[in-house]
């Protein structure tokens, strides 16, 4: 018999007999009932507490803030997708500027060295945010592959304020994740960090040193 | 953790289970516990045939020996009176582990019934007697070390401090890492003497650092351990069982 | 590479050495104090008991359905393109992984943190086959540079302080000696980036394997886990068979419990959910993903209703952080892959009680571990159960059961039992002890090495109560 069959046989022919599975009540991880304002505050407080940077902007004007941000951070080479509206709008806005736009929608093998060594920042859209933990959720696509939110030293993520939800559990349930998982689903909550050297926090150990979230609001905020 | 317990009204009579450590090394603490109960108008029955709850064998893995000794204690409490134990450790053994120990045996029902009547002394004084105390002692600082069994197994982290707070002249001071074990652990202190010693060393340092000259505990195992360490170091800090402390200051 | 070896047999000697090492003592005390405080703070606005109840419940449900869930996991993984392999023990798992590496001509493996790979000594196995295995979690990397094993399951290098780490990095990698943690972190980043790019295979662990969707979940802060599972062309995930959960919705509560219990974080930087290799049209990610399911004694633990609770563990390490013994002797003293309370209830099943007989007793049964366990494993009860097995009074289904049973000890307990079940003899012996108290030896072995011996009281409580009753009668 194979290892598989042996293991399953032992588990099935359990000495103490079959076990009864208890039911689970998930109330404790859902039903927060926060208002949009509370969600936003919580999201910002939590992601800021782990060195995530939040910049509030608007749907109509966000690329202006993006350009300012790139200048402020000294980003000269930005990796981004092409088809997603976030990438498309950014490309249009940055086309005439000084920042070199690097196509992320190609096989990593073609540009691995470039990505690892000479890309200053990666720009991605996000599918939504989680207020309770200050998290972004991303389902990387061929247009915005997995590594552009990881390899460059700065990750700029664009989040629409109205996509914030209360809890991780709520997100999984509301969007029917269990019905079809992508190759990779990700929660990102801040820049890469470690406390492995005597509990001292240090950022940017393997992934980005900085995470900047451009939170887009539907209207211009006063 | 023990679920929230609904306490009965004060009983006219209670059983007192002294525990083997009190019986052998700290009999005054047992007697002081009895006196505190009697002062509340309770008749205290002390079953003459009591010996040990069986915990030393139980925690050492000697299950059948523990069961035999526990079985002998089960017979000592025929009337429905509460059983008061001046120790969180032995109290926890009787309340939590007796039902497990006799599960599936003929004594299962009896063990469960006895367990349901077990109260740690400070628990009974606080939650059932609603004890009031008139402090006649001099002003002083005292530290409480609640045993791990009282705190975690019986869920009684607060009853000792609550009683001390009722002594008008006593200032209860908190040691650093109050909830950390003193390192006694029964046979642990013998099987792993160096680790145990490191733990009791830290505990005595924490108590000493409060500047209090006294500490009290509700368990004689901890008392023996911590006092033994203080004595060994010729330190002036003195500990006693909380029952003795309460009785001494209010009688 | 030779690795400093500790063994559970040498617990006493290793603990002795650690207790005498102020550096080790200080490093652990400081770290554990910090971790306990952070955990307390991060749960302060939660209904923790209800959340723990749910966590325990989810794990129990997964265990109750374990064989079916493993089959479901396998089917869904395969449907997603993840190849599933089964291993009876660590040796078989090592062989599977080595053969996968060899089939790709792999010379270099980059590793994300995986305690199961530590458990089966994968690095040594691969190196013996000429395949270099490099740890990429910073703590694991440092420990590997220092030719050691992890001393904590979550924070592998917690036994080392900044100066020691600076020395290690200086000696092994040529960095400057410094106390600047950012500098050292940046240096490690630079050293490892090259390795990620050039690695042939990435090996990771798994925190939760979701049967419903065929998804592997990885919890991390550094990003090395994402690198390991995304950059090399082949990703091999290795995990114990108990890590499966039934539904995707079971994951959020366990994740919430795990990060808060482990490091007091409300969330980790990354929660990485992998449901397959790179598909046509996708531009990155490994071309192949493999999942190796390892038994290594777990199905034996599974047989017994009481021992089963051991398998609920989600490997947060909170039991270590709160253990007064672990805090003092550190992780290496235990000489096992999993140290501390969880190790003491798990390792005897993997290594046998003969090898690990001092571990279940290395606890004062203070209950701190059980109190903080996010899935409510009754660790103290399980320690007692293993003590029972060790002296041959259990059910005999732990390897090496009965190994600690000695005639001398049995005789001592039988004598105690006889006395404690013969009340008049008990009272008589107390009477004698009181009378002969002057003869009590002042040296009682280890006890009096650190403490003054206690003499029996002149009169027992039995005697005092009798006298007290007489006084009462005289007064009335």
User: Which pLDDT score, from 0 to 100, does residue C4 have?
Assistant: 65
Report the distance separating Cα A50 and Cα C263, nearest Å.
14
C-alpha–C-alpha distance, residues C267 and C245, integer Å:
20
Q: What's the pLDDT at C1?
A: 43
| Cβ-proximal residues to C446 (8 Å cutoff; 6+ apart), any chain | B189, B190, B193, B194
Instruction: Mention every residue, 6+ apart, whose C-beta is less than 8 A from residue C146.
Output: C4, C160, C168, C172
Interface test with C, best of A109, A197, A208, A210 (most C CBs within 10 A): A197
Per-residue confidence (pLDDT) for residue C441, from 0 to 100 = 72
Range 75-94 of B in CB contact (< 8 A) with C: none
In chain B, % helix, strand, coil (3-state, to 5) comes to: 50, 10, 40
How far, in Å, are A93, A119, A209, C197 from residue A67 at the CA level? Answer: 8, 16, 19, 31
Task: Render pLDDT for A94-139 as a digit per residue (tens, 0 to 9).
Answer: 999 999 999 999 999 999 999 999 999 999 999 999 999 999 999 9
Tell me the CATH class for B133-250.
alpha beta
Domain chopping of chain A, boundaries: 45-126+137-162+174-217
Question: Mean pLDDT over residues B124-143, rounded?
Answer: 97
Quick one: pLDDT at residue B98?
98
Q: In what order do the strands lie in the sheet with B140-145?
A: B170-173, B140-145, B214-217, B238-241
pLDDT at B6: 86
* Cα–Cα distance, A150 to C223 (Å, whole number): 7
Distance CA C383, CA C364 (A): 10
Distance CA C370, CA C365 (A): 10
Cα–Cα nearest to B86, from B220, B224, B181, B246: B220
- Cβ(C415)–Cβ(C382) under 8 Å? no
Q: Are strands A128-130 and A164-165 parallel, antiparallel or unpaired?
A: parallel
Residues from chain C that touch B186, judged by Cβ atoms under 8 A, are 364-365
Cα-Cα end-to-end distance for chain C:
84
Which of B22, B100, B200 is facing C461, going by the closest CB pair? B22
Residues 104-143 of B with CB under 8 A from C: none
Name which of C371, C393, C433 is nearest B24 (Cβ-Cβ).
C433
C345: contact with B, CB 8 A cutoff? no
- Inter-chain contact C300–A10, Cβ cutoff 8 Å? yes
Q: Which of B49, B68, B180 sits opposite C423 (nearest CB)?
A: B49
Contact call for residues C120 and C94 (beta carbons, < 8 A): yes
Prediction ipTM score: 0.97
What domains can you pick out in chain C, each with its CATH number? 8-300 (3.40.50.10420), 407-475 (no CATH)
**pLDDT for position B236:** 94
Tokens of A153: 């030293």
Structure confidence by residue, pLDDT tens digits, A209-221: 999 999 999 976 5
Average pLDDT over residues B59-74: 97
Rounded Cα–Cα distance for residues A37 and A217 (Å): 12
Q: What tokens were used for C199?
A: 């690695």
Evaluate if residue B2 carries a pLDDT over 60: no
Instruction: Among C86, C193, C270, select the one facing A116 at the smallest CB separation.
Output: C193
Q: Which two tokens stand for residue A191?
A: 């820049």
Residue located via tokens 């211009």: A220
For chain C, 476 residues long, the average pLDDT of each consecutive 10-residue run is 79 97 94 97 95 98 98 98 98 98 98 96 97 97 95 94 96 96 96 96 98 98 98 98 98 98 97 98 98 98 98 98 98 97 98 97 98 98 98 96 96 96 95 85 78 91 96 75
**Which CATH number describes the domain made up of A45-126+137-162+174-217?**
3.40.50.10420
**B22 and C370: CB-CB below 8 Å?**
no
* B–C interface: beta-carbon pairs under 8 A: 195
Q: Do B58 and C384 touch (CB under 8 A)?
A: yes
| Strand order through the sheet with B13-16 | B43-45, B13-16, B83-85, B118-120
- Biggest CA–CA distance in chain B, Å, is 54
Measure the CA–CA gap between A109 and A62, rounded to whole angstroms: 32
DSSP A148: G
β-partners of residue A186 are A138, C272
Q: Do C221 and C269 meet the contact criterion of CB atoms below 8 Å apart?
A: yes
| Under 8 Å between Cβ of C344 and C157 | no
C 102-141 near B (Cβ less than 8 A): none
Give the residue among A195, A196, A191 at the shortest CA–CA distance from A209.
A191
- Angstrom distance (rounded) from CA B46 to CA B13: 11
Q: How far apart are CA C169 and CA C176, in angstroms?
A: 8
The percent of residues in chain A predicted with pLDDT above 90, rounded, is 98
pLDDT reported for residue A213: 98
Asked if the Cβ–Cβ distance from B69 to C420 is below 8 Å, we say: yes
Give the total residue count for chain A.
222
Residue B183's CB is within 10 A of a number of other CB atoms, namely 28
A65, burial (CB in 10 Å: exposed 0-12, middle 13-18, buried 19+): middle
- State the average pLDDT over residues A1-17: 97
Asked whether the beta carbons of residue A108 and residue C189 sit closer than 8 angstroms, the reply is: no
Spatial CA neighbour of B21 closest among B198, B186, B215: B186
Of C370, C389, C460, the CB nearest to B23: C460
Q: Give the pLDDT confidence score for residue B3 in this predicted structure.
A: 47
Contact B160, B166 (CB under 8 A): no
Where do runs of H (alpha helix) occur along C65-133?
66-80, 90-103, 115-119, 122-128
Q: What is the per-residue pLDDT for B4?
A: 59
pLDDT at res. C446: 79
Q: What angle do CA B226, B232, B234 make, to 5 degrees?
A: 105
For residue C347, the 8-state DSSP code is: H
Residue among C313, C221, C366, C261 at smallest CA distance from C38? C261
CA dihedral B141, B147, B153, B155 (to 10 degrees): 0
Query: What is the reported pLDDT for A221?
Result: 59
For residue B133, give how far its alpha carbon lies from the nearest alpha carbon of chain C (Å): 22
* Angle, in degrees to the nearest 10, between helices C22-42 and C251-263: 140
Q: Phi-psi bin for A176: left (phi > 0), alpha (psi -120 to 50), beta?
A: left
Query: Where do we find the tokens 């400070």?
Result: B122
Instruction: Please classify residue C164 by burial: count the beta carbons closer than 10 Å to its beta carbon, then call 0-12 exposed, 13-18 middle and 19+ buried.
Output: middle
Angle, to 10 degrees, between the axis of helix B27-39 and the axis of helix B242-250? 50
């Amino acid at each position: 018999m194979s290892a598989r069959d042996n293991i399953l046989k032992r588990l099935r022919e359990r000495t103490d007999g079959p076990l009864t599975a208890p039911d689970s009540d998930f109330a404790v991880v859902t039903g927060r009932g926060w208002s949009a304002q509370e969600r936003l505050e919580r999201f910002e407080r939590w992601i800021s507490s782990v060195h995530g940077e939040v910049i509030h902007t608007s749907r109509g004007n966000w690329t202006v803030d993006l350009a300012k941000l790139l200048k402020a951070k000294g980003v000269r080479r930005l990796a981004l997708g092409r088809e997603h509206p976030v990438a498309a709008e950014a490309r249009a806005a940055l086309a005439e500027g000084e920042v070199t736009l690097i196509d992320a929608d190609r096989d990593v093998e073609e540009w691995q060295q470039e990505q690892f060594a000479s890309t200053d920042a990666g720009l991605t859209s996000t599918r939504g945010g989680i207020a309770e933990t200050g998290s972004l959720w991303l389902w990387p696509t061929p247009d915005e592959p997995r590594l552009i939110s990881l390899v460059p030293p700065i990750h700029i993520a664009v989040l629409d304020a109205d996509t914030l939800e209360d809890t991780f559990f709520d997100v999984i349930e509301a969007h029917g994740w269990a019905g079809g998982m992508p190759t990779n689903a990700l929660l990102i909550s801040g820049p890469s960090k470690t406390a492995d050297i005597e509990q001292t926090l240090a950022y940017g150990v393997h992934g980005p040193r900085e995470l900047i979230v451009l939170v887009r609001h539907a209207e211009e905020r006063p | 953790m023990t679920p929230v317990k609904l306490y009965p009204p004060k009983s006219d009579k209670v059983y007192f289970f002294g525990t083997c450590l009190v019986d052998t090394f700290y009999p005054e603490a047992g007697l002081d516990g009895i006196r505190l109960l009697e002062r509340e108008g309770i008749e205290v029955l002390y079953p003459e045939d009591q010996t040990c709850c069986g915990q030393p064998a139980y925690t050492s893995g000697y299950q059948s020996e523990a069961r035999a000794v526990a079985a002998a204690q089960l017979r000592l409490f025929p009337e429905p009176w509460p059983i008061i134990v001046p120790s969180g450790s032995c109290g926890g053994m009787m309340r939590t582990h007796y039902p497990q120990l006799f599960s599936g045996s003929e004594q299962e029902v009896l063990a469960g019934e006895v367990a349901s009547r077990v109260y740690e002394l400070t628990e009974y004084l606080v939650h059932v007697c609603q004890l009031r105390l008139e402090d006649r002692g001099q002003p002083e600082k005292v530290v409480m070390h609640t045993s791990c069994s009282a705190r975690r197994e019986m869920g009684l982290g607060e009853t000792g401090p609550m009683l001390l707070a009722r002594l008008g002249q006593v200032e209860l001071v908190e040691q650093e890492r109050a909830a950390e074990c003193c390192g006694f652990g029964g046979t642990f202190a013998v099987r792993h003497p160096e680790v145990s010693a490191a733990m009791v060393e830290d505990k005595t340092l924490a108590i000493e650092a409060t500047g209090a000259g006294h500490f009290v505990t509700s368990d004689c195992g901890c008392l023996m351990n911590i006092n033994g360490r203080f004595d060994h170091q010729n330190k002036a800090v003195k500990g006693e069982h909380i029952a003795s402390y309460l009785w001494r200051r209010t009688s | 590479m030779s690795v400093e070896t500790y063994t559970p047999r040498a617990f006493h000697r290793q603990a002795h050495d650690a207790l005498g090492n102020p550096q080790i003592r200080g490093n652990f005390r400081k770290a554990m104090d910090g971790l306990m405080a952070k955990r307390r703070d991060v749960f302060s606005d939660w209904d923790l008991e209800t959340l723990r109840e749910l966590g325990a419940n989810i794990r129990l449900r997964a265990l109750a359905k374990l064989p079916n869930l493993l089959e479901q996991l396998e089917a869904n993984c395969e449907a997603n393109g993840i190849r599933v392999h089964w291993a009876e023990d660590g040796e078989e798992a090592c062989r599977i992984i080595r053969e996968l590496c060899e089939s790709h001509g792999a010379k270099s493996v980059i590793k994300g943190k995986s305690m199961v790979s530590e458990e089966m000594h994968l690095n040594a196995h691969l190196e013996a086959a000429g395949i270099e295995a490099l740890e990429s979690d910073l703590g694991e990397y440092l420990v590997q540079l220092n030719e050691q094993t992890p001393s904590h399951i979550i924070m592998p290098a917690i036994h080392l302080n900044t100066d020691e780490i600076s020395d290690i990095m200086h000696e092994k990698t040529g960095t400057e000696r410094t106390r600047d943690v950012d500098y050292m972190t940046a240096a490690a980043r630079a050293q490892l980036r090259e390795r990620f790019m050039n690695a042939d295979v990435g090996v990771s662990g798994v925190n939760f394997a979701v049967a419903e969707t065929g998804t592997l979940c990885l919890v991390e802060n550094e990003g090395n886990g994402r690198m390991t599972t995304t950059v090399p062309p082949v990703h091999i995930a290795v995990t114990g068979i108990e890590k499966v959960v039934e539904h995707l919705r079971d994951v959020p509560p366990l994740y919430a419990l795990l990060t808060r219990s482990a490091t007091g974080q409300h969330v980790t930087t990354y929660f990485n959910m992998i449901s397959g290799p790179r598909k046509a049209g996708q531009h990155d990610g490994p071309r192949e993903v493999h999942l190796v399911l390892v038994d290594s004694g777990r199905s034996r633990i599974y047989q017994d209703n009481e021992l089963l609770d051991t398998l609920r563990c989600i490997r947060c390490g909170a039991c270590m952080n709160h253990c007064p013994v672990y805090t003092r002797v550190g992780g290496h003293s235990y000489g096992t892959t999993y140290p501390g309370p969880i190790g003491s209830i798990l390792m005897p099943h993997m290594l046998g009680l003969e090898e690990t007989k001092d571990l279940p007793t290395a606890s004062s049964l203070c209950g701190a571990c059980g109190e903080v366990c996010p899935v409510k494993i009754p660790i103290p009860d399980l320690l007692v159960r293993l003590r029972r097995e060790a002296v041959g009074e259990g059910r005999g289904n732990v390897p090496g059961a009965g190994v600690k049973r000695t005639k001398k000890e049995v005789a001592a307990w039988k004598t105690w039992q006889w006395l404690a079940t013969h009340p008049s003899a008990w009272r008589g012996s107390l009477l004698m002890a009181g009378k002969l108290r002057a003869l009590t030896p002042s040296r009682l072995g280890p006890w009096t090495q650190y403490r003054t011996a206690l003499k029996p009281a002149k009169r027992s409580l039995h005697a005092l109560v009798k006298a007290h009753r007489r006084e009462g009668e005289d007064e009335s």
